[in-house]
């Protein structure tokens, strides 16, 4: 019985990424990609959030950026058009522009998966927990959020890269390379 308990505990520990630095291989279904070493793993607050990374803040910025990898299960999380609409609703465009003026959408393949990104910048309407109707909304000016709809045979994974625009810009090349490296 004691051996079984130890085996189950070890299996549970291995199913979650270690918190801190070092190499982290992110697995989305059968696809894998190593996260950049500069991204530090953090404890995920929800069971559906498989990975959380703290991304170093840019010089002169007071907050780190964050990358979240979320999986609601096969068929969960909604379709792409509904998510695009919801994501756009999380931002207020800079003065004189519409959200469609500042939204940049791209689709590509990574390891056979169809990947769609929506890059938004402006005032972020930060709400936690995100789906709670009475959650407090904090307006975060000069923010950026890159939303990723990552379609695999196992279902859709949602990847969110959010933070001060300057911090996201500083790590965008590494983020793009990481996404495209899934095999």
CATH of the domain at 172: 3.40.1000.10
Which of 6-15, 41-50, 154-163 comes out lowest in average pLDDT?
6-15
Q: How confident is the model at residue 131 (pLDDT cuts 50, 70, 90)?
A: confident
Average pLDDT value for residue range 141-168: 98
Give the single-character DSSP code of 75.
Answer: T
Residue 6 has pLDDT above 70, yes or no: no
Residue 20 belongs to a domain = no
Helices then strands (H, E): number in the chain?
A: 4, 10
Residue 16 has pLDDT above 60, yes or no: no
CA-to-CA distance for 177 and 35, rounded, in angstroms?
10
Biggest distance spanned by C-alpha atoms of the chain = 67
Residue 17 belongs to a domain = no
Q: How confident is the model at residue 4 (pLDDT cuts 50, 70, 90)?
A: very low
Domain limits at 163? 25-180
Average pLDDT value for residue range 42-64: 95
Residue 16 belongs to a domain = no
Where helices occur in 89-183 by DSSP H, the ranges are 99-102, 165-180
pTM for the full predicted model: 0.88
* Residue-level pLDDT at 1: 45
Residue 141 belongs to a domain = yes
Residue 129 has pLDDT above 90, yes or no: no
Which of 19-23, 48-52, 160-164 comes out lowest in average pLDDT?
19-23
Residue 49 belongs to a domain = yes
Question: To the nearest whole number, what is the mean pLDDT of the chain?
Answer: 89
Residue 13 belongs to a domain = no
Do the beta carbons of residue 150 and residue 113 sit within 8 Å? Answer: yes
Residue 9 belongs to a domain = no
* Residue-level pLDDT at 21: 56
CA-to-CA distance for 173 and 138, rounded, in angstroms?
28
Distances (CA, A) of 63 to 19, 55, 60, 68, 140: 19, 10, 9, 16, 11
Residue 14 belongs to a domain = no
Count up the domains in the chain and report the number.
1
Provide the percentage of residues in the chain whose pLDDT is more than 70: 88
Where helices occur in 44-164 by DSSP H, the ranges are 80-88, 99-102
């Amino acid at each position: 019985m004691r051996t079984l308990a130890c085996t189950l505990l070890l299996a549970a520990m291995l199913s979650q990424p270690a918190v801190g630095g070092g190499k982290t291989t992110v697995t989305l279904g059968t696809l894998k990609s190593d996260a950049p070493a500069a991204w530090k793993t953090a404890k995920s607050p929800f069971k559906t959030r498989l990975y959380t990374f703290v991304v170093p803040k840019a010089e002169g910025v007071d907050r780190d950026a964050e990358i979240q990898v979320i999986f609601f299960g096969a068929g969960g999380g909604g379709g792409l058009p509904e998510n695009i609409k919801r994501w756009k609703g999380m931002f207020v465009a800079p003065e004189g522009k519409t959200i469609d003026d500042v939204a940049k959408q791209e689709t590509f393949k990574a390891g056979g998966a169809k990947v769609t990104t929506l890059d938004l910048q402006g005032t972020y309407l930060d709400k936690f927990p995100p789906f709670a109707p009475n959650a407090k909304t904090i307006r975060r000016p000069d923010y950026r959020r890159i939303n990723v709809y990552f379609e695999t045979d196992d279902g859709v994974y949602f990847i969110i890269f959010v933070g001060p625009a300057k911090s996201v810009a500083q790590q965008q090349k590494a983020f793009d390379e990481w996404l495209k490296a899934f095999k």
